[in-house]
Every structure is written in structure tokens, then in C-alpha cells.
Amino acid sequence: MDLAGGPLCALHALIDRRGVNIWNLGTGHGHSVIEVVQAFEKASGQAVPYRLESRRAGDVATCWADVSLAEQELGWKSRRSLVDMMVDIWRWQQQNPEGYSPSLS
């Protein structure tokens, strides 16, 4: 839901702008893989099997979006928590067990 609002804010901002504009959309906070797994388990009530491994060569240690420009110029900010996002993902999956398949009629 948060990411649907970000592009809408950007489209409105582009009415008065020219050239290239780039805004990062995100929460501005990173989450570990374990945090994501735990949030999904909480949202779904399902255990997610996993095993801990060493970081692979080339894996980035930490990474997240700097969302300050989107906040300043668009007035857009993510308002949902990681658990909220996982609840939405789980609800969508339950409603679409075969995935997304648009009608081609």
C-alpha cells in the first residue's frame, strides 16, 4: 500500500517539473533476512524453514533506501511496518494461490 502512494505523489510532482527526477521509495530502514522471516511467520502463522549460512562472496552487508528526498519533495513517507507488509503479502497469497495471471481477453 505504501509503494502505491509513492508513484502517485511523484506523478503529481512531475506536473510542475522538467528533466530527470529520482526519488527513492522505501522505509529508510534495513531489515535482516531473519527479521523478514520472523515477520512473515508472525503474519502467516506458518513456520518458515531456514538454515543459517555464511554470507556469500559479493553479498552486500547492509543496504536500504535514503528516502529523505521523497519526504522533502513529495511529502511521501512509508507508514507501514514490516509486519504490516507481511500481512498484506500473506493475504494476497491466500487470495491468489496460483499467483498473478492477468486476463488476456
**Residue 49 to residues 22, 46, 59, 68, Cα–Cα distance (Å):** 38, 9, 21, 36
Model confidence at 105, in pLDDT bands (50, 70, 90)? low
Only one residue has cell 507501514, namely: 80
- Alpha-carbon distance of 39 to 84, in angstroms, equals 9
Residue 43 one-letter amino acid: A
pLDDT at residue number 34:
94
The second-level CATH assignment, the architecture, of 2-95 is Alpha-Beta Complex (3.90)
pLDDT at residue number 51:
94
pLDDT at residue number 14:
87
Between 15 and 87, residue with greater pLDDT = 87
pLDDT tens for residues 2-61?
A: 778 888 898 888 888 888 889 999 899 999 999 999 999 999 999 999 999 998 999 988
Q: CB neighbours (10 Å) of residue 26? A: 15
Q: CB neighbours (10 Å) of residue 4? A: 7
Q: Is the torsion defined by CA of 98, 31, 5, 41 positive or negative?
A: positive
Between 70 and 100, residue with greater pLDDT = 70
